[in-house]
Homo-oligomer: A and B are copies of this chain.
Amino acid sequence: MNAEVEILEVSPRDGLQNEKTILSTEDKIELVERAVGAGARRIEVTSFVNPSRVPQMADADDVMAALPRREGLKYAGLVMNRRGLDRALAGNVDEIDVVVVATDTFCQRNQGMSTAEACDTAAALVEEARAAGVFSTITVGASFGCPFEGEVTTDRLREVVQRVVDAGPDELALADTIGVAVPTDVKARLGLARGLAGPDMPLRLHLHDTRHTGVANAVAAVEAGVRTLDASIGGAGGCPFAPNATGNVATEDLVYLFDRMGVTHGLDLASVTATAAWLEHRLGRPLPGALLRAGSFPG
């Protein structure tokens, strides 16, 4: 399959935020450095949120300050509000990632406001980021299903995505936050997003492998023309505000898949898998990525 994709490495943020073991700032920096060594060029390094809500991210400012900068390497930070944006800009992020959850119940639990309020907030944050010369992406959480409200209809998603498009980000992402999507959903909802966003806005897809559909959904996304996929080394991750949300699709599982499919991505499988083994050791629990257990092929 002739395609080139970008894998946005989210292990330092989505990968860690739900882990019981709090990594040291040094370990977080090492994780980012290892990802860079494996070929990652776009990394969501932290989230600038209230440390009482997400203790793993309490050292976000320190992490940002300590990370070495390199030409062609982009660090993204997740922000929810003005306070987070100020911290992100002070930390000199390359990108902000703003989240809007597609259902009111989950949005309220995730960020203390309704979906409509989150859209308004996102619009203001995007505008301020742009004024500061910083790239912005908006991620629509629970685009394929909600742990509290159940099915998210395409009508509801259309309404939310339209508001997000109106907010004017540089990129738009759909997130399968609780890992319920199947390939037909992925193609249909990415098509809906493409229709609303127009042909020029980059689309990104954020997948969780909770029901082992993550890899199939990644294939569907590439077939649908999406060229940026989030993934997390080792398949670490989950949302602290969503029950039963397990890991992101594992970076090394996508790397194996894409290597054998002939889809280029710039990452080195052995390095990513070695980093997954390192992260597993630091977190003190088995991570769900498959390549970590199975090894590559041919060996």
Contacts and interface: CB of A to CB of B under 8 A. Distances in A.
A282 interface: no
Interface stretch (A23-31, A33-41, A91-99, A182-190): A182-190
Contact of A298 (B145, B213, B246): B145
A48 to B, nearest CB: 30
Given A212-B253, A214-B212, A297 B145 contact: yes
Tallying the copies of this chain within the complex gives: 2
A236 to B, nearest CB: 15
A291 interface: yes
Interface stretch (A8-16, A81-89, A121-129, A257-265): A257-265
A250 B212 contact: yes
A195 interface: no
Interface string A210-248: 111111101110000000000000000000000010100
Contacts of A220: 219
B297 A211 contact: yes
Nearest to A212: B290
Interface in A191-222: 209-216, 218-220
A293 B288 CA distance: 12
Contact of A253 (B183, B211, B289, B294): B211
A80 interface: no
A183 B253 CA distance: 13
A214 B184 CA distance: 17
A9 to B, nearest CB: 18
Contact of A294 (B1, B211, B219): B211
B293 A246 contact: yes
Contacts of A219: 183, 216, 219-220
A151 B299 CA distance: 10
A241 B60 CA distance: 49
A142 to B, nearest CB: 11
A112 interface: no
A267 interface: no
A157 to B, nearest CB: 15
23 contacts: A1-B184, A145-B297, A179-B294, A180-B260, A182-B261, A184-B260, A209-B212, A210-B290, A210-B294, A211-B253, A211-B257, A211-B291, A212-B212, A212-B253, A213-B215, A213-B256, A213-B257, A215-B215, A215-B216, A216-B257, A244-B294, A244-B295, A246-B294
